[in-house]
Amino acid sequence: MKSMAARRRRSRAGIAAALIIGGLLLATGCGNFFVPENSSTSGGSTSGGDYVYVANQTTGTLSAYSVGSGALTAISGAPYSLGFSPTAVAVNPANTIVFVAGANSGIGYIDAYSIGSSGALTLLTQNNIGLGDPISLDVSPDGQWLIGLDGNGLTVDEYQINATTGQLTLATGATYVISNATVVPRALKISPNANFVFAAIGTAGDLVFPFNTTNGVLSSPGRLTLPANVSDNALAVSPDSGYLYVARSGTNGGLAVYTVSSAGVLTSITASPFAAGSQPFSVVVNSAGTAAYVANQLDSTISGYTIASGGTATAISGSPYSNNSEPSGLVIDKTGKYLLAISNSGSPDLTLYSFDSTTTGKLDFVSSTSTGTDPTGPVSIAATH
């Protein structure tokens, strides 16, 4: 991929000609589908493709587990040694490829692994992305584009995916410049309808890039600005693409919920943000858009909410739920029966929760595990869809 690295260097040289940021209004919310562990109805099977992958920054490894029957089972051969320190991981919509981004000695890489029938991974290709440094990854719903929020605070990286080989071809992507706030790149999400790419950039707020999945073009973004002493750290989008959920820390932080207009304008719903714990750092929404969960890093809890049709979030009974280890990332598994949390501080590194059979949406602790020889430093988690 030497040509990609060269193109990346040319791209960095042209960053000064950045896009002008447009203004945005504020918006509203949606929710989360869950199935009690003992329910006979599920969004999929607890076997045959229900896998979760954890990128461990300290050990430079990728852990892999199958999820089901109230247990996490390590996949044979895992954890996999990456040869670099990972920053982000993502699974494509077809559940055939896992992408892992990271860097070694200042050179960025995105490894592409094929997912076997048991969840085991086989390296397809290592993409050398030169100076690229994506700290958050997402794959477009059509599986054609891999998009990353670059840690340089200036760039959204974009690659076209060869679905057979996992090879990435550098696309145009986007650049941005913000002069009135400190940019801290945190997270990126593509809306399920593929119309927008959202980026959380810390105290500088959020960006909304109109997206054309046919040709990969990312248009000039609108920007959601924040008051002082607030940071937007993570994003989730409702299944119908009508709501954006934000894990917001700082003064008047919590779960911020916005409606998303057809033009990408964000409008805050009434009473947003909704109270959470200390330093919300990750957010996930279930597949039905009826509940949301926020990982509160500093007080080691997870807040759970039911989401009404108008976007209002109401705390679920028993929320917030104990995590014990500063949770920093959340996913809901393929079946919708389990929520998984990684904890960058470790001990344990990965925790599995089921959804209560009596109280809808309530989290029940199931099990926890180390993702390797601690400290592993789990930094990103992704699950099959």
**Whole-prediction pTM value?**
0.89
The pLDDT assigned to 16 comes to 38
Question: What are the residue ranges spanned by the domains of the chain?
Answer: 2-19+27-383
- Spell out the residues 6+ positions from residue 215 whose beta carbon is closer than 8 angstroms to its own: none
β-pair type (243-250, 85-91) = unpaired
pLDDT digits 0-9 by tens, 150-197: 999 999 999 999 999 999 999 999 999 999 899 999 999 999 999 999
The parts of the chain modelled with pLDDT lower than 70 are 1-48
For strands 85-91 and 196-200, give the pairing.
unpaired
Q: What is the structure's pLDDT at 373?
A: 92
Residue 347: predicted pLDDT: 81
CA distances (Å), origin 164, targets 93, 94, 251, 273: 14, 11, 47, 43
Closest CA to 195 of 151, 255, 238, 246: 238
Q: What is the pLDDT of residue 219?
A: 98
Closest CA to 190 of 224, 223, 156: 156
d(CA 262, CA 264): 6
User: Which residues are paired to 23 by β-bridges?
Assistant: 223
- According to the model, what pLDDT value does residue 43 have? 33
Tokens for 120? 């085991």
DSSP string of 335-371, one letter each residue: TSSEEEEEETT-SSSEEEEEE-SSSTT-EEEEEEE-S
Length of the chain: 385
Residue 9: closest CA among 149, 155, 137: 155
**pLDDT score of 344:** 85
- The Cα diameter of the chain in Å comes to 57
- CATH 3.30.428.10 for domain 2-19+27-383, yes or no, is no
Give me the phi and psi of 13, to 5 degrees please: -65, -25
Residue 196 tokens read as 């927008």
Amino acid at 288: A
Give every strand in the sheet of 266-268, ordered side by side.
Answer: 230-237, 243-250, 254-260, 266-268
For 22, the token pair is 């447009």
Given this model, what pLDDT does residue 349 score? 96
